[in-house]
Every structure is written in C-alpha cells, then in structure tokens.
Amino acid sequence: MTALDLSSPVAVVGTGTMGQGIAQVALVAGHPVRLYDAVPGRAQEAAAAIGARLDRLVAKDRLGAADRDAALARLTPAGGLADLADCALVVEAVLERLDVKQQLFRELEEIVAEDCLLATNTSSLSVTAIGGALGNPGRFLGLHFFNPAPLLPLVEVVSGFATDVTSATRAYETARSWGKTPVACADTPGFIVNRIARPFYAEAFAVYEAQAADPATIDAVLRESGGFKMGAFELTDLIGQDVNESVTHSVWQSFFQDVRFTPSLAQRRLVESGRLGRKSGHGWYDYAEDAERAEPHTAEKERPPAYVVTEGSLGPAAELLPLIHEAGIQIREEDEDHGTRLVLPSGGQLVLADGQTSVEFRDVVYFDLAFDYRKATRIALSASNDTAQQTLAEAIGLFQALGKDVSVVGDVPGMIVARTVARIVDLAHDAVAKGVATEEDIDTAMRLGVNYPLGPFEWSRRLGRGWAYDLLDDLHLRDPSGRYAPSLALYRHAYATDQREGTP
C-alpha cells in the first residue's frame, strides 16, 4: 500500500494551532489542501496565517518564493463540509470532546468517497470510541501530530480496534512521504509518548512531595545528570500545568485509575491556584520580569578523598573509575564483589542508587544515575541523618574533583534519575508485551516526541537487563502501593536473562 498521490486533496477540519500546522505540512508536501472550520471566517483567517508563516520561511531561505506561491495556490478555505467531498484524506483537529468528534465524522462519512481516509489528531480520546460511531470504521484511524506540527518530525499512526491494516498502512506511508517520521501503535490510553512519558513528570513531582528536593534542583539533576533537555518542572510550565495534568488525568482514568499513573496532588493544587506556567506568568517558577531566578542546591566545596576502594564492578557507573584515576585519586581494588559500591577513607560507602535508602545501612551515601558520567556536569547524592558527616563530605569532594557540581537531596529510594529511567523502561516493556508498539517504534517515539537522550530499550540495553527490575522491586518493597511494582513483562525480561546465565 503506497502513500496518497500528491494530486489527491487533503482536508483539515478545525483551524486552531494544530489544524493550521497539519495543513501546512500537507500543503508544503505538495497536496491541494482544503481548510474548514465551523466558525464562519476562521478558515479564511487560518489560510492567511499559513500564508504568513510561508512568507517567513521564504525570508529565512527555507522555502523558495515559487514554491510558496504554488503552495498558496493549492490552499482553499472551504465554505462547508460538502466542499470536502473529493478529498482522499480528512484530518480532524477540533475540540477534544468525544460527542463533537463523533458527530463530525458521521457527517463526513455521508459526504466523502468510500475510499477516503478519515483521521483524528486526538491526543487524549479513544480512537476506537470515535470510530465506533461510523458505519465503516475500518478507514478511520488516529494521526497524532506533535506541536508545532511543521517542525516536530514524529507522527503516531494509531489503529483503532476496527481500523483496517490497509488504511493504517496508507496513512503511515503518507505521513512518511510528507517528511515525517511515523510510528505505528495500537489504540491505548496516551498512545506511545503520553503513556510512557508519565513517570518523567510523576517521579519528579513525587520527589518534591517527599520534600527531598526543590523544583530547581530536581530539574538541574534531570538535565545535567540525566541528559534530558528540560527538567519536569520547567517542561510542564512550558506545556501548561492544566494541559499536562489533563493528559495525566485522562491516562489515569482510561487505565481504570491504575496507581502507576496517579496524578500529582501538588500539580493539582498548582492548577487550582491558577499558576499554569509561562502562559499565566507563574507555575512552578515565577516568570515575572523582576523575579529572582530559582537556582539548584549546590554543595559547598569539600576536599576530595586521597583514595577510594572498589569492591567488585560498578555496573552502570563503571565509567567513573577512569574519571577518578584521571583526577589523581588513588583507586584500590578488593576482590569482594558487593556490586556497585566504593568505600571511602572514612569507611563509609558510596553506592549507585538501587531503590533502597541510606537509613537502612550504616554510613552509606547514594549517588544518582547519569546518562554519561564523563559529560555530566552535576551529580545528586542522598544520605540519611545518621550518615557520618565525614562520609558525606568525602563523597561530595570526590565528585567535585571530577568536575561536577553536587546536589545533596533527601533520602528517597531510587533518587531522581534512576527511578525515573527505571519506570520509563518498565512501561515500555509493558507496552510491547501488550501489543501497543514495537521496541524500535517506542524508542523512536520517545527520542523524537519528547526529546529523550535515549529510547527506553536503548537505556535498558545500556544498563543491563535486570537493572530496572531490581531497582523497582526494591522500591516496591518500600512503597507497596503498587506504583513501583515491576510489570510482568519486565520480570520475564530479567528472569529470562538469569536463566540463560545459569542462575537457578
């Protein structure tokens, strides 16, 4: 099944930001495009706005003047739905209400040809439920673009329960012919990105609610240690707290209030107070011109230890050893295999976050996971009130000697980056096991849709098959609510590896 021919007209119903963006994508790709909006005059306004954006592309030498003129000649505001009768694809981007969308597509079904593809750009409603109102739901599917549609490459091609394979394939190939990167997924709450991304926000909020760290510190650790482009607090301020919470609430409700997707009470209070982020001038952060910039907690300078003792492999943190050596700190090796730990001159231990807490052990400081320990500019440490000050000082001094800023956070199991990555990996494995999407498409979606440094399965391979399971299993013991219970898919993944390696 091939993509739609460029001579085939494409219609966009709904001319808000997303509708205009989708129309621009189809238009620049070479299709005749019809714009329709139920509000009189809106389609003409949208056509003018698209023309202005094309003018800006010409001014920036990203589009030729002749190509702009040809595109504008193919753009037509429609006076009514009947003007869409000859279209080969109609994409809807109207109000996120099931009844509104169902009524629209019932009307379209009576107008367009039998082989016309019908698509919704919904991000929160069930594609199956919208298509269920149609006489022929086989040609109905989701085409979920990301905002701004002309710039972001990802398109989730969502098959409802009744969507024909031929329809999904044609839509997939059409999106690819438009220069987009399509990924195929089944109709599940949140599709790929909004389902698997929930822990990125939820775990940051949970650390904050536990009073383990402030938003600026958590964001800095996610960026400077985790390798994420933005922290959870600044990103939700950019998205809009109301928008982000609405998506979280929709996924939670759609999964029958599954505890793994429980919304944040702190975020709810933020929305209730009207602090919606950048658009309201205040969210987690204050955006007033005279507001003082929130800075992350950074530890004062400490002397580095003269040496460290390694006991066994450092696992995912093994790249720390050459950094310690390059910093001129002596490394002494012991034969004992205690996993991911260093022993400091004070006798205290420095351990990679594993889902346990410092208070459970004598003199232990935990350090967080990093995307790349060499490139990381900040490392988070956690300790309990019982941890010796000398041990904490030596741990701080060690990472400072490696050129890192250090943030000391509260004694929360799994810290910040580690628990976030583990939960993302878990949800990804669960999604594959339930037929939502392939590993490759999930990795692609999370890199392109939310700009993660690695896809979940790339993280999983880098960290080791059993890493996420072990961390979440330890977290689940300390929080038996079910939020951190590893999925059966992750358990099978880790257990199969153990069996191959001969573990009984």
Is the pLDDT confidence value at 499 over 80? Answer: no
Cα atoms in the 13 Å half-sphere on the side-chain side of 176? 13
Q: To which residue do tokens 């059993």 refer?
A: 466
What pLDDT is recorded for position 337? Answer: 57
Q: What is the mean pLDDT of the chain?
A: 95
* H or E element that contains 88: none
For residue range 229-245, what is the model confidence (pLDDT) as tens digits? 999 999 999 999 999 99
Q: In what order do the strands lie in the sheet with 181-186?
A: 75-77, 33-36, 10-13, 89-92, 117-120, 140-145, 154-159, 181-186
Gap between the Cα atoms of 89 and 116, Å rounded: 5
Task: Report the 10 Å Cβ neighbour count for 258.
Answer: 14
Q: From residue 125, how far is each of 87, 97, 156, 246, 251 by CA, in Å?
A: 24, 8, 14, 12, 9
In this prediction, residues 166-194 reach a mean pLDDT of 97
Q: What is the pLDDT of residues 311-355, one digit of tens each?
A: 877 889 999 999 999 999 999 987 665 557 899 999 999 999 999
- pLDDT at position 79 is 94
pLDDT given at position 238: 95
Q: Please give the share of the chain, as a percent, with pLDDT higher than 90.
A: 94
pLDDT tens figures, 396-422: 999 999 999 999 999 999 999 999 999
Q: Which two tokens stand for residue 411?
A: 């004694």
Task: Identify the H or E element spanning 354.
Answer: none
Sheet holding 364-367, edge to edge: 330-334, 307-311, 341-343, 349-352, 364-367, 378-382, 405-409
Instruction: State how far the alpha carbon of 247 is from the alpha carbons of 67, 182, 298, 339, 385, in Å.
Output: 38, 21, 33, 39, 38
Q: If residue 401 lies in a helix (H) or strand (E), which one and from where to where? A: helix 389-401
Who wins on pLDDT, 1 or 296? 296
pLDDT for res 1: 67
Read off the pLDDT band of 502 (50, 70, 90): very low
Measured N-to-C along each axis, helices 198-209 and 265-272 cross at an angle, to the nearest 10 degrees, of: 90
Torsion of CA 11, 15, 16, 22, to 10 degrees: 30
Active site positions, annotated: 123, 144, 156, 194
Task: Please name the residues in contact with 390: beta carbons below 8 A apart, sequence gap of 6 or more.
Answer: 346, 348
In this prediction, residue 503 carries a pLDDT of: 43
Name which residue leads in pLDDT, 339 or 18: 18
Q: Look at residue 338 in the predicted model and tell me its pLDDT.
A: 55
* The predicted structure's pLDDT at residue 313: 78
Cα pseudo-dihedral 267, 273, 278, 280, rounded to 10: 160
> Please, which pLDDT band fits residue 504 given cuts at 50, 70 and 90?
very low
Look up residue 290 and give its two tokens: 């005279």
% the chain with pLDDT above 70: 97
- Helix/strand/coil for 332: strand
For residue 312, the model assigns a pLDDT of: 75
pLDDT given at position 35? 98
**pLDDT for 135 beyond 80:** yes
pLDDT single digits (tens) 371-387? 999 999 999 999 999 99
Does residue 500 surpass a pLDDT of 70? Answer: no
Q: Which residues, in sequence order, are bridge partners of residue 156?
A: 144, 183
Q: What is the pLDDT of residue 495?
A: 86
Distance of CA 244 to the CA centre of its chain: 12
Confidence of residue 446 (pLDDT cuts 50, 70, 90): very high
Residues 477-487 have a mean pLDDT of: 97
Q: Cβ(405)–Cβ(389) under 8 Å?
A: no
Phi and psi angles of residue 200, each rounded to the nearest 5 degrees, phi first: -60, -40
